[in-house]
A and B are shown apart, each in its own frame.
Chain A
Amino acid sequence: MSHKFSRRKFLRNSLLGTGAMTLGFPALNVSAQEAKIRCGVVTSLSGANRFGGNLTRRGYDLWAEEINKLGGIEIAGTRYPVEMFYGDAQSQPASGADAAERLIIQDEVDVLFGPYTSGVTLAVQPISQKYRVPMISGSAESPNVWLAKPAFNFGMIPAVDLTTDKSMVVLADTLGDRAKTASVIGVDEPFSKETAEGFRKGVEESGLDLLSYELFPAESDLSAIVSKLKSTNPDIVAVGGHESVFINFVNTAKALNYKPKALIMHYGVTSAAFINETGSESNGILGVSVWTAGLPYKDDLFGTASDYSDLSFSRWGTRPDYTEAACSASGLVLQDAARRLGKAPPWNQDTRAQLAKAIEDTDIETFYGPVGFAKEGSHYHNNTKPVPVVIQIKNGDVVPVAPENASKGELTYPIPGAS
């Protein structure tokens, strides 16, 4: 064989070189430590749940920007700036686990902010536990997340089984004799199915007549579902799903000349995208939210709930929903726990375990509402304090309508133009 430089040889060598580089590169990536608090965000920036994943990121980022304007988190008289690192979970549990491990090992984060979905959260939990990195989840809402009693994971939003049945009962009480029957539909996927089950439980508890309960696969055509609802026309229709399903449901129902007398959904109704995309059709739709800008909560960093809403609007151009609010509030929890811990970063494993203990003892008021984590039971480490409110969309605004003490407006029933 000749020793001349050939194209094949060149290609072969560059191929091997690239392989070696990719293998070797991560190991070289050792950066100098500064006195910063390094926060890792594992969330779905792509894949099926990219919509909500990016909302969580906005929430976490907004907190980081605001606290850094003040110079960072104050611990024992000194302020330590916050640095954010991101890992895309690609809406897949395994990628979430990869991302968490990378953030912990290579970016050496002191604390994690949790994924958008419950599935990814479940896959990340063992890793946060293994390396003793506290993880504050501003989003995961499935009750399954808390069943395994994760020592290092804390959830800001009460699990859906706590919120949906309560709000269905509240809605039924408010409507009184006007509503007698209800139907529940939901997407057959983790969060949505539990939402639908919560609604069903609420229907049974409130003594309404359950006309139908039906799950359907994600991305299926909704004309059959809508036609069936139309033929029985229940007084309340409850939908468990994400915002894209709501948009399709509303569009399909309109095209089939059907408008339920009351339509209640859960996540995503309060998001700006839903209101924009459905336009005037969103008018009168009910939602469950653990937070709205009208609530009378406040804290030192963000001010009142409505101040937060204005800030978020000026930063991102859309009004925040409760996921963004809960994610921003996750930062406040960290701030408070770090202050009580009183140890300067970087934190080693033992300090992080103490930090987790400090987070467990959280008892604060924020713009998002009161935060405190359950220390036992089936909702271990879930913040069960927020009370769900039933909201109604009126001309593009989100208005709390029930329960009575949180109400800012009259519940419109039936929705004008209902079948």
Chain B
Amino acid sequence: MASKPVQTPKFIVRALLIGAIVIALAVLPAFIDSYTLRIATGALMWAGLACAWNIVGGYAGYISFGHSAFFGIGAYTTAILMQSDFGASFFVTLLPAIILSIAVAVVIGGPTMRLRGAYFAIATWAFAEMLMQLVTVLDFTGGTAGLSLPAYLNEFFFYYTMLIAAAASFVGVWLLIEHSRFGFRIKALRDDEPAAESLGIRTNLVKVQSFALSAAITALFGSIYAYWTTYIDPHSVMGPQITDQMVVMVLLGGLGTIWGPALGGVLLWITNRYIWSTFGDTVIYLPILGVIIALVVLFLPNGLISLLVGRQRGKELISNILRKF
């Protein structure tokens, strides 16, 4: 790694780089057509979702297969409150969506996070499937017929909403996890839970806190997504494909890093849509995507981020990640 004297310029370079990215993202809508903007909006959403999943999966070391539950909670809260019975405006629905997701995360997080590795993964999947079935049989969720939201078709609004939400998520994670005591606790927990406990870290509390944080961000994106697509049904917002996508994006980008999920999310979503639109009338994009994932796992096991931040650095970062799966 760089020695002391070069640290300041490096910091400046990084700040400039991030500033440039932010400016580029802010002015992007002026240069692209509305379809491309739609794809960009989706890319921001997936980057944010990957970032949310990474809190639990990458930093705390608990692989969740159940995040679609929180995405669905956000989407359904917004959709239900925006039906004409309540007639809430969009921004008003965000708060209940986030509170509900945190409440659910706290209630299930406590007992579920006593499970380890694969058991935790599959328990969360079971929970998500159960919630999807519940939404299907209930009436006020619209059951299988789903819910239509009032259509607000301003692509700039959704792009900037997603951008702000994604930026807030990344900044929040960066501050909370890379630059706070909370972050040290989470990583300590991940690296050696018994040791962390013996140092006086209340591991159960930290686990639930990280789970709730992750759930809240996921639900936020669920809310925006529901308003954006104007129509949701149980499978489209709670199906396992939502979680699968988040997991794969984080793995490809780089687990337990700040920028890995952003890279994985954006790149995978754009590739997905690109292959899909190029081979639009066949289904060949699925096998291609499968091969890409397998190849990255085989040849770039530290994720794509390791190409950008340097191999040594990537290895260092990731080899510290726990082995308790």
Contacts and interface: CB of A to CB of B under 8 A. Distances in A.
Contact of B274 (A22, A93, A95): A22
B297 to A, nearest CB: 16
A26 interface: yes
B274 A126 contact: no
A98 B38 contact: yes
A92 B143 contact: no
Contacts of A130: 151, 153
Interface residues of B, number: 46
B232 interface: yes
Contacts of B171: none
Contacts of B35: 26, 98, 101-102, 104-106
A94 interface: yes
Contacts of B308: 12, 15
Interface in A12-44: 12, 15, 19, 22-23, 25-27
A144 interface: yes
A122 B144 CA distance: 13
A88 B276 contact: yes
A93 B144 contact: no
B236 A94 contact: yes
Nearest to B136: A188
B165 interface: no
B277 interface: yes
What 7 pairs across the A-B complex have the smallest Cβ distances? A126-B151, A105-B35, A86-B281, A123-B231, A122-B231, A46-B283, A130-B153
A63 B230 CA distance: 31
Contacts of A95: 276
B146 A87 contact: no
A130 B153 CA distance: 7
A207 B148 CA distance: 35
Contacts of A106: 33, 35, 277
Interface in A66-108: 85-88, 90, 92-95, 97-99, 101-102, 104-106
Interface stretch (B100-108, B109-117, B265-273): B265-273
Contacts of A101: 34-35, 38
A93 B133 contact: no
Contact of A27 (B33, B148, B153): B33
B137 interface: yes
B304 interface: yes
Nearest to A121: B231
A172 B235 CA distance: 36
Contact of A26 (B230, B277, B283): B277
Contacts of B89: none
A357 B281 CA distance: 30
Contacts of B241: 92
Contact of A122 (B148, B277, B281): B148
B303 to A, nearest CB: 12
A193 B271 CA distance: 36
Interface of A: 8, 11-12, 15, 19, 22-23, 25-27, 45-46, 48, 50, 85-88, 90, 92-95, 97-99, 101-102, 104-106, 119, 122-123, 126-127, 129-130, 142, 144, 148, 188-190, 193-194, 217
B16 interface: no
B22 interface: no
Contacts of A26: 32-33, 35-36, 39, 277
Contacts of A98: 35, 38-39, 42, 273
Interface string B17-40: 000000000000001111110110
Nearest to B34: A105
Nearest to B28: A23
Contacts of B136: 188, 217
B34 A86 contact: no
Given A88-B283, A119-B146, A126 B153 contact: yes
B229 A11 contact: no
Contacts of A46: 283, 286
B267 A19 contact: yes
B233 A144 contact: no
B291 interface: no
Contacts of B153: 126-127, 129-130
Count chain B CB atoms within 10 A of each CB in A85, A106, A190 and give the residue with the most.
Answer: A190
A188 B137 contact: yes
A122 B146 contact: yes
19 contacts: A19-B267, A22-B270, A86-B281, A87-B277, A87-B280, A92-B236, A97-B38, A98-B35, A98-B273, A102-B277, A106-B277, A119-B236, A122-B231, A126-B151, A126-B230, A188-B143, A190-B144, A190-B145, A194-B145
B33 A93 contact: no
Contact of A188 (B32, B34, B144, B266): B144
A88 B230 contact: no
A123 B229 CA distance: 6
A76 to B, nearest CB: 31
Contacts of A8: 307, 310-311
Interface in B128-164: 133, 136-137, 143-146, 148, 151, 153
Nearest to B310: A8
Interface in B249-304: 266-267, 270-271, 273-274, 276-277, 280-283, 286, 304
Nearest to A92: B236
Nearest to A192: B144
A11 B133 CA distance: 44
